[in-house]
Amino acid sequence: MARWLFDLLKPHGLGSEVLPGIVLKRASEELGLRLTFAMDGTDLHVDVGPADDATPHAARSDRLVFGYRVGRGEVDAERALALCRRLAELARANEAEVLAALAEDSDRGRIRHVETEQLLEPMGGGDERFYGLSPYVGCLIGCRFCYAPSRLDPLRRLLGLDPIRWGSWTDVRTNAPAVLADELRSRPAAPIKLCPIVSDPYHAVESKEELTRRCLEVLVEHAPDWPLFVLTRSPLVRRDFDLLTRLDRAWVGVSLPTADDAVRAHFEPRASSVAERLETLALARQAGLRTFAMVQPILPGSVTAMVDALATHADSVSLDVLRGVQGAADDFADHAEAATDEWQIQRSNEIRRALNERGVPLWSGELPPDR
Ligand code: SF4
Protein backbone atom coordinates (compact mmCIF):
# COMPACT_ATOMS: atom_id res chain seq x y z
CA MET A 1 0.00 0.00 0.00
CA ALA A 2 2.86 2.41 0.61
CA ARG A 3 4.14 2.04 -2.96
CA TRP A 4 2.19 5.11 -4.00
CA LEU A 5 4.44 7.21 -1.75
CA PHE A 6 7.37 6.10 -3.90
CA ASP A 7 5.35 6.95 -7.02
CA LEU A 8 5.11 10.52 -5.80
CA LEU A 9 8.88 10.80 -6.01
CA LYS A 10 9.43 9.43 -9.51
CA PRO A 11 11.92 9.08 -11.11
CA HIS A 12 13.33 8.25 -7.68
CA GLY A 13 12.54 5.00 -5.93
CA LEU A 14 13.67 2.77 -3.11
CA GLY A 15 17.46 3.02 -2.64
CA SER A 16 17.67 6.16 -4.75
CA GLU A 17 19.82 9.15 -3.75
CA VAL A 18 17.26 11.96 -3.71
CA LEU A 19 19.86 14.58 -2.74
CA PRO A 20 23.62 13.97 -2.39
CA GLY A 21 24.12 11.60 0.56
CA ILE A 22 20.39 11.24 1.27
CA VAL A 23 18.96 7.86 0.27
CA LEU A 24 15.30 6.79 0.21
CA LYS A 25 14.96 3.82 2.53
CA ARG A 26 11.33 3.17 3.27
CA ALA A 27 7.77 4.36 2.82
CA SER A 28 5.13 3.58 5.38
CA GLU A 29 1.53 4.35 6.30
CA GLU A 30 1.71 2.85 9.75
CA LEU A 31 2.73 5.84 11.85
CA GLY A 32 1.09 8.34 9.58
CA LEU A 33 2.34 8.80 6.03
CA ARG A 34 6.07 8.64 6.28
CA LEU A 35 9.13 8.49 4.04
CA THR A 36 12.36 7.41 5.71
CA PHE A 37 15.79 8.43 4.44
CA ALA A 38 19.29 7.40 5.43
CA MET A 39 21.25 10.58 6.06
CA ASP A 40 24.51 11.10 7.95
CA GLY A 41 24.33 7.66 9.55
CA THR A 42 20.85 8.12 10.97
CA ASP A 43 17.23 7.80 9.90
CA LEU A 44 15.43 10.95 8.89
CA HIS A 45 11.64 10.63 8.71
CA VAL A 46 9.59 12.91 6.52
CA ASP A 47 5.87 13.08 7.33
CA VAL A 48 3.52 13.64 4.41
CA GLY A 49 0.01 15.04 4.75
CA PRO A 50 -2.75 16.67 2.78
CA ALA A 51 -2.10 20.34 2.09
CA ASP A 52 -5.23 21.26 4.01
CA ASP A 53 -3.45 19.91 7.06
CA ALA A 54 -2.97 22.43 9.81
CA THR A 55 0.21 20.73 11.04
CA PRO A 56 3.40 22.73 10.71
CA HIS A 57 5.41 21.74 7.66
CA ALA A 58 8.73 22.48 6.03
CA ALA A 59 7.60 22.47 2.39
CA ARG A 60 4.45 22.00 0.34
CA SER A 61 3.45 21.01 -3.14
CA ASP A 62 0.01 21.82 -4.57
CA ARG A 63 -1.77 19.08 -2.60
CA LEU A 64 0.69 17.83 0.01
CA VAL A 65 2.83 19.05 2.87
CA PHE A 66 6.17 17.67 4.03
CA GLY A 67 7.81 18.01 7.42
CA TYR A 68 10.79 16.18 8.88
CA ARG A 69 11.32 14.55 12.21
CA VAL A 70 14.59 13.09 13.35
CA GLY A 71 14.93 9.46 14.43
CA ARG A 72 17.69 8.99 16.98
CA GLY A 73 20.82 11.01 16.26
CA GLU A 74 21.81 14.45 15.05
CA VAL A 75 20.56 15.85 11.78
CA ASP A 76 21.67 18.85 9.75
CA ALA A 77 18.47 20.97 9.76
CA GLU A 78 19.38 22.80 6.56
CA ARG A 79 19.83 19.60 4.61
CA ALA A 80 16.62 18.20 6.08
CA LEU A 81 14.79 21.32 4.95
CA ALA A 82 16.37 21.10 1.50
CA LEU A 83 15.19 17.50 1.31
CA CYS A 84 11.59 18.49 2.13
CA ARG A 85 11.71 21.15 -0.57
CA ARG A 86 13.04 18.66 -3.09
CA LEU A 87 10.29 16.17 -2.18
CA ALA A 88 7.65 18.85 -2.66
CA GLU A 89 9.13 19.64 -6.08
CA LEU A 90 9.08 15.98 -7.11
CA ALA A 91 5.56 15.48 -5.77
CA ARG A 92 4.25 18.49 -7.69
CA ALA A 93 5.03 16.68 -10.93
CA ASN A 94 3.40 13.39 -9.93
CA GLU A 95 0.72 14.00 -7.34
CA ALA A 96 -2.31 14.64 -9.58
CA GLU A 97 -1.94 11.24 -11.23
CA VAL A 98 -0.89 9.34 -8.11
CA LEU A 99 -3.61 10.73 -5.85
CA ALA A 100 -6.33 10.26 -8.48
CA ALA A 101 -5.35 6.58 -8.89
CA LEU A 102 -5.23 6.14 -5.14
CA ALA A 103 -8.71 7.57 -4.60
CA GLU A 104 -10.15 5.56 -7.49
CA ASP A 105 -8.79 2.26 -6.20
CA SER A 106 -10.01 2.65 -2.68
CA ASP A 107 -12.85 0.60 -1.28
CA ARG A 108 -15.20 2.87 0.66
CA GLY A 109 -16.65 0.44 3.20
CA ARG A 110 -16.14 0.61 6.93
CA ILE A 111 -14.52 -2.82 7.08
CA ARG A 112 -12.15 -2.72 4.12
CA HIS A 113 -10.21 -5.77 3.03
CA VAL A 114 -6.85 -4.54 1.79
CA GLU A 115 -3.47 -5.99 0.90
CA THR A 116 -0.28 -4.69 2.41
CA GLU A 117 3.21 -4.77 0.97
CA GLN A 118 4.97 -4.62 4.32
CA LEU A 119 4.04 -5.48 7.84
CA LEU A 120 6.93 -5.34 10.28
CA GLU A 121 7.49 -1.67 11.02
CA PRO A 122 11.03 -0.95 12.31
CA MET A 123 10.81 1.22 15.41
CA GLY A 124 12.94 2.39 18.30
CA GLY A 125 16.68 2.77 17.99
CA GLY A 126 20.06 1.90 19.48
CA ASP A 127 19.74 -1.12 21.77
CA GLU A 128 15.99 -0.85 21.72
CA ARG A 129 15.16 -1.68 18.14
CA PHE A 130 11.91 -3.54 17.65
CA TYR A 131 9.18 -4.08 15.10
CA GLY A 132 5.58 -2.97 15.31
CA LEU A 133 3.13 -5.49 13.86
CA SER A 134 -0.43 -4.46 12.98
CA PRO A 135 -2.68 -6.93 11.17
CA TYR A 136 -5.38 -4.23 11.20
CA VAL A 137 -5.28 -0.50 10.67
CA GLY A 138 -8.13 1.34 12.35
CA CYS A 139 -9.69 0.09 15.57
CA LEU A 140 -13.27 -0.95 16.35
CA ILE A 141 -12.85 -0.33 20.08
CA GLY A 142 -12.70 3.42 19.58
CA CYS A 143 -11.41 4.74 22.91
CA ARG A 144 -12.20 8.40 23.24
CA PHE A 145 -8.66 9.54 23.96
CA CYS A 146 -7.00 7.41 21.25
CA TYR A 147 -4.25 9.16 19.32
CA ALA A 148 -4.26 6.71 16.38
CA PRO A 149 -6.76 8.77 14.33
CA SER A 150 -4.31 11.65 14.15
CA ARG A 151 -1.92 9.28 12.39
CA LEU A 152 -4.50 7.70 10.13
CA ASP A 153 -6.73 10.60 9.13
CA PRO A 154 -4.30 12.16 6.61
CA LEU A 155 -4.39 9.05 4.42
CA ARG A 156 -8.15 8.74 4.65
CA ARG A 157 -8.46 12.36 3.60
CA LEU A 158 -6.14 11.78 0.66
CA LEU A 159 -8.21 8.76 -0.34
CA GLY A 160 -11.28 10.98 -0.35
CA LEU A 161 -12.97 8.71 2.21
CA ASP A 162 -15.87 10.21 4.12
CA PRO A 163 -14.98 11.24 7.65
CA ILE A 164 -16.42 8.55 9.92
CA ARG A 165 -16.34 8.22 13.65
CA TRP A 166 -13.18 6.69 15.13
CA GLY A 167 -14.05 3.21 16.31
CA SER A 168 -16.34 2.42 13.39
CA TRP A 169 -13.87 1.47 10.67
CA THR A 170 -10.89 -0.78 10.13
CA ASP A 171 -8.70 -2.06 7.32
CA VAL A 172 -8.17 -5.80 7.43
CA ARG A 173 -4.74 -6.60 5.99
CA THR A 174 -5.76 -9.89 4.44
CA ASN A 175 -2.29 -10.97 3.35
CA ALA A 176 -0.63 -10.10 6.69
CA PRO A 177 0.40 -13.69 7.57
CA ALA A 178 2.03 -14.26 4.18
CA VAL A 179 3.87 -10.92 4.28
CA LEU A 180 5.01 -11.64 7.82
CA ALA A 181 6.40 -15.05 6.81
CA ASP A 182 8.44 -13.40 4.03
CA GLU A 183 9.72 -10.63 6.28
CA LEU A 184 10.77 -12.99 9.05
CA ARG A 185 13.04 -14.74 6.57
CA SER A 186 14.79 -11.54 5.51
CA ARG A 187 14.85 -9.26 8.57
CA PRO A 188 17.31 -9.27 11.48
CA ALA A 189 15.77 -10.71 14.63
CA ALA A 190 14.32 -8.16 17.08
CA PRO A 191 11.41 -8.05 19.52
CA ILE A 192 7.99 -7.73 17.91
CA LYS A 193 5.23 -5.65 19.44
CA LEU A 194 1.72 -6.71 18.58
CA CYS A 195 0.08 -3.78 20.19
CA PRO A 196 -2.39 -1.03 19.54
CA ILE A 197 -0.38 1.54 17.67
CA VAL A 198 -3.12 1.85 15.07
CA SER A 199 -5.50 -0.91 16.18
CA ASP A 200 -6.04 -3.37 19.00
CA PRO A 201 -4.91 -6.77 17.64
CA TYR A 202 -7.95 -8.39 19.29
CA HIS A 203 -10.72 -5.95 18.42
CA ALA A 204 -14.12 -7.37 17.40
CA VAL A 205 -13.37 -8.26 13.79
CA GLU A 206 -10.51 -10.56 14.83
CA SER A 207 -12.94 -13.19 16.11
CA LYS A 208 -14.07 -13.69 12.51
CA GLU A 209 -10.96 -12.80 10.50
CA GLU A 210 -8.40 -14.52 12.76
CA LEU A 211 -5.58 -12.51 11.22
CA THR A 212 -3.77 -11.96 14.51
CA ARG A 213 -4.03 -15.66 15.23
CA ARG A 214 -2.62 -16.56 11.82
CA CYS A 215 0.28 -14.14 12.36
CA LEU A 216 1.00 -15.90 15.65
CA GLU A 217 1.02 -19.24 13.82
CA VAL A 218 3.63 -17.80 11.47
CA LEU A 219 5.72 -16.60 14.42
CA VAL A 220 5.54 -20.01 16.07
CA GLU A 221 6.74 -21.60 12.85
CA HIS A 222 9.40 -19.11 11.72
CA ALA A 223 10.53 -17.07 14.72
CA PRO A 224 9.72 -18.83 18.00
CA ASP A 225 12.80 -17.27 19.62
CA TRP A 226 11.96 -13.64 18.73
CA PRO A 227 10.55 -11.92 21.82
CA LEU A 228 6.87 -11.05 21.40
CA PHE A 229 4.92 -8.42 23.32
CA VAL A 230 1.12 -8.43 23.07
CA LEU A 231 -0.96 -5.59 24.45
CA THR A 232 -4.75 -5.51 24.29
CA ARG A 233 -7.99 -4.34 25.85
CA SER A 234 -9.87 -7.45 24.72
CA PRO A 235 -10.38 -10.86 26.33
CA LEU A 236 -10.10 -12.50 22.89
CA VAL A 237 -6.35 -12.82 23.43
CA ARG A 238 -7.14 -15.79 25.70
CA ARG A 239 -8.11 -17.78 22.60
CA ASP A 240 -4.46 -17.61 21.50
CA PHE A 241 -2.69 -18.64 24.70
CA ASP A 242 -2.09 -22.02 23.08
CA LEU A 243 0.11 -20.33 20.46
CA LEU A 244 1.69 -17.73 22.72
CA THR A 245 2.94 -20.43 25.08
CA ARG A 246 4.82 -21.99 22.17
CA LEU A 247 7.02 -18.91 21.82
CA ASP A 248 10.23 -18.75 23.89
CA ARG A 249 9.52 -15.28 25.31
CA ALA A 250 6.01 -13.89 25.08
CA TRP A 251 4.52 -11.19 27.27
CA VAL A 252 0.77 -10.68 27.48
CA GLY A 253 -0.43 -7.38 28.83
CA VAL A 254 -3.53 -5.30 29.20
CA SER A 255 -4.03 -1.55 29.16
CA LEU A 256 -5.49 -0.49 32.48
CA PRO A 257 -5.96 3.28 32.71
CA THR A 258 -8.30 3.00 35.75
CA ALA A 259 -9.64 0.44 38.20
CA ASP A 260 -13.03 2.18 38.23
CA ASP A 261 -15.26 0.43 35.70
CA ALA A 262 -17.68 3.35 35.41
CA VAL A 263 -14.78 5.58 34.33
CA ARG A 264 -13.56 2.84 32.01
CA ALA A 265 -17.05 2.56 30.46
CA HIS A 266 -17.16 6.31 29.91
CA PHE A 267 -13.82 6.55 28.10
CA GLU A 268 -13.61 3.07 26.57
CA PRO A 269 -17.27 2.03 26.07
CA ARG A 270 -16.49 -0.83 23.70
CA ALA A 271 -13.48 -2.26 25.50
CA SER A 272 -13.63 -5.08 28.04
CA SER A 273 -14.37 -4.33 31.69
CA VAL A 274 -11.69 -3.85 34.32
CA ALA A 275 -12.64 -7.24 35.83
CA GLU A 276 -12.28 -8.98 32.46
CA ARG A 277 -8.84 -7.47 31.91
CA LEU A 278 -7.65 -8.59 35.31
CA GLU A 279 -9.04 -12.05 34.65
CA THR A 280 -7.12 -12.10 31.36
CA LEU A 281 -3.91 -11.41 33.26
CA ALA A 282 -4.72 -14.11 35.82
CA LEU A 283 -5.39 -16.65 33.08
CA ALA A 284 -2.24 -15.65 31.18
CA ARG A 285 -0.19 -16.17 34.30
CA GLN A 286 -1.90 -19.52 34.88
CA ALA A 287 -0.96 -20.50 31.33
CA GLY A 288 2.68 -19.75 32.14
CA LEU A 289 2.93 -16.48 30.21
CA ARG A 290 4.71 -13.36 31.41
CA THR A 291 2.18 -10.66 32.26
CA PHE A 292 2.28 -6.88 32.41
CA ALA A 293 -0.06 -3.94 32.58
CA MET A 294 0.22 -0.55 30.92
CA VAL A 295 -1.31 2.37 32.72
CA GLN A 296 -1.57 4.91 29.95
CA PRO A 297 -3.25 7.28 29.98
CA ILE A 298 -4.03 7.64 33.67
CA LEU A 299 -7.76 8.07 34.21
CA PRO A 300 -9.59 8.95 37.44
CA GLY A 301 -10.34 6.25 40.00
CA SER A 302 -9.08 4.90 43.30
CA VAL A 303 -5.30 4.62 43.48
CA THR A 304 -5.56 1.92 46.14
CA ALA A 305 -7.85 -0.24 44.01
CA MET A 306 -5.57 0.26 41.02
CA VAL A 307 -2.42 -0.66 42.91
CA ASP A 308 -4.09 -3.71 44.50
CA ALA A 309 -5.21 -4.92 41.09
CA LEU A 310 -1.80 -4.37 39.51
CA ALA A 311 0.12 -5.93 42.39
CA THR A 312 -2.12 -8.99 42.30
CA HIS A 313 -2.12 -9.68 38.58
CA ALA A 314 0.79 -8.06 36.74
CA ASP A 315 4.41 -9.24 36.79
CA SER A 316 5.39 -5.67 35.92
CA VAL A 317 3.82 -2.32 35.12
CA SER A 318 4.55 0.53 32.75
CA LEU A 319 3.15 3.94 33.61
CA ASP A 320 2.72 6.88 31.32
CA VAL A 321 0.67 10.03 31.34
CA LEU A 322 -2.07 11.35 29.06
CA ARG A 323 -0.67 13.23 26.12
CA GLY A 324 -3.49 15.55 25.16
CA VAL A 325 -7.21 14.77 25.09
CA GLN A 326 -7.23 14.35 21.28
CA GLY A 327 -10.85 14.88 20.16
CA ALA A 328 -12.23 13.98 23.59
CA ALA A 329 -12.34 17.38 25.30
CA ASP A 330 -16.11 17.00 25.90
CA ASP A 331 -15.63 13.56 27.42
CA PHE A 332 -13.22 15.00 29.94
CA ALA A 333 -15.73 17.69 30.96
CA ASP A 334 -16.69 15.77 34.13
CA HIS A 335 -13.05 14.89 34.80
CA ALA A 336 -11.42 18.15 33.77
CA GLU A 337 -8.65 17.95 36.35
CA ALA A 338 -7.53 14.56 34.97
CA ALA A 339 -6.70 16.19 31.64
CA THR A 340 -4.11 18.50 33.19
CA ASP A 341 -0.38 17.75 33.24
CA GLU A 342 -0.25 18.48 36.99
CA TRP A 343 -2.90 15.88 37.82
CA GLN A 344 -1.36 13.28 35.51
CA ILE A 345 2.11 13.72 37.00
CA GLN A 346 0.87 13.76 40.57
CA ARG A 347 -1.28 10.64 40.04
CA SER A 348 1.55 8.87 38.24
CA ASN A 349 3.87 9.61 41.18
CA GLU A 350 1.27 8.30 43.66
CA ILE A 351 0.80 5.05 41.76
CA ARG A 352 4.54 4.65 41.24
CA ARG A 353 5.25 5.12 44.96
CA ALA A 354 2.56 2.65 45.98
CA LEU A 355 3.76 0.05 43.46
CA ASN A 356 7.33 0.45 44.72
CA GLU A 357 6.11 -0.17 48.26
CA ARG A 358 4.35 -3.32 47.07
CA GLY A 359 7.53 -4.48 45.28
CA VAL A 360 5.94 -4.43 41.80
CA PRO A 361 8.60 -3.93 39.09
CA LEU A 362 8.07 -0.79 37.01
CA TRP A 363 9.57 -0.47 33.58
CA SER A 364 9.94 2.04 30.83
CA GLY A 365 11.38 1.52 27.37
CA GLU A 366 10.24 -1.08 24.92
CA LEU A 367 9.99 -4.40 26.73
CA PRO A 368 9.02 -5.44 30.23
CA PRO A 369 11.67 -7.08 32.36
CA ASP A 370 12.20 -10.81 32.08
CA ARG A 371 11.41 -12.80 35.13
S1 SF4 B 1 -7.87 -0.02 21.86
FE2 SF4 B 1 -6.02 1.20 21.50
S3 SF4 B 1 -5.97 1.56 19.27
FE4 SF4 B 1 -8.06 0.90 19.82
S5 SF4 B 1 -9.15 2.79 20.12
FE6 SF4 B 1 -8.42 2.12 22.13
S7 SF4 B 1 -6.46 3.20 22.41
FE8 SF4 B 1 -6.98 3.31 20.22
Nearest CA to ligand 1 atom 1: 200
Q: Which residues, 6+ apart, have CB-to-CB distance to 79 below 8 Å?
A: 19, 21, 22, 39, 40
State the pairing for strand pair 136-137/170-173. antiparallel
200 lines ligand 1 (CB under 6 A): yes
> Is the Cβ–Cβ distance between 310 and 277 less than 8 Å?
no
Mean pLDDT of 95-113: 83
Q: For position 155, what pLDDT does the model report?
A: 81
Instruction: Determine which residue's CA is closest to atom 7 belonging to ligand 1.
Output: 146
**Residue among 197, 217, 174, 210 at smallest CA distance from 122:** 197
Q: How confident is the model at residue 283 (pLDDT cuts 50, 70, 90)?
A: very high
Predicted confidence band at 340 (pLDDT cuts at 50, 70, 90)?
confident
Is the distance from CB of 235 to CB of 279 less than 8 angstroms?
yes
DSSP string, 147-168: SHHHHHHHHHHHTTPPP--TTS
Cis peptide before 196 (omega within 30 of 0): no
Indicate whether residue 196 lines ligand 1 (CB < 6 A).
Answer: yes
Indicate if ligand 1 lies below 6 Å from the C-beta of 233: yes
Which architecture, in CATH terms, is 111-357? Alpha-Beta Barrel (3.20)
Strands 17-19 and 42-50: unpaired
Tell me: cis bond preceding 11? Omega within 30 of 0 counts: yes
pTM of the model as a whole: 0.86
What pLDDT is attached to residue 71? Answer: 62
Tell which one of 153, 199, 299, 331 to mutate to probe ligand 1, the residue whose CB is within 8 A of the most ligand atoms.
199
Cα distance between residue 75 and residue 139, in whole Å: 34
- Asked whether 119 and 133 are in contact (CB, 8 A), the reply is yes
Assess contact for 22 and 87: CB atoms under 8 A. no
Residue nearest to atom 2 of ligand 1 (CA): 196
Tell me how far the alpha carbon of residue 18 lies from the centroid of ligand 1, in angstroms: 36
Return the ligand 1 atom nearest residue 166 CA: 5
In DSSP terms, 19 is beta-bridged to 22
Residue in 317, 365, 321 with CA at minimum distance from that of residue 125: 365
Is residue 141 in contact with ligand 1, taking CB distance under 6 Å? Answer: yes
- Looking at every residue in the chain, the average pLDDT score rounds to 90
Domain ranges of the chain: 3-105, 111-357
Tens digit of each residue's pLDDT (9 = 90 or more) over 304-326: 999 999 999 999 999 988 777 66
Ligand 1 centroid to Cα of residue 254, in Å, is 12
Looking at the CA of residue 234, tell me the nearest atom of ligand 1: 1
* Overall average pLDDT of the 339-360 stretch: 93
pLDDT digits (tens, 9 = 90+) for 156-172: 888 777 778 889 899 99
Per-residue pLDDT tens for 252-269? Answer: 999 999 999 999 999 999
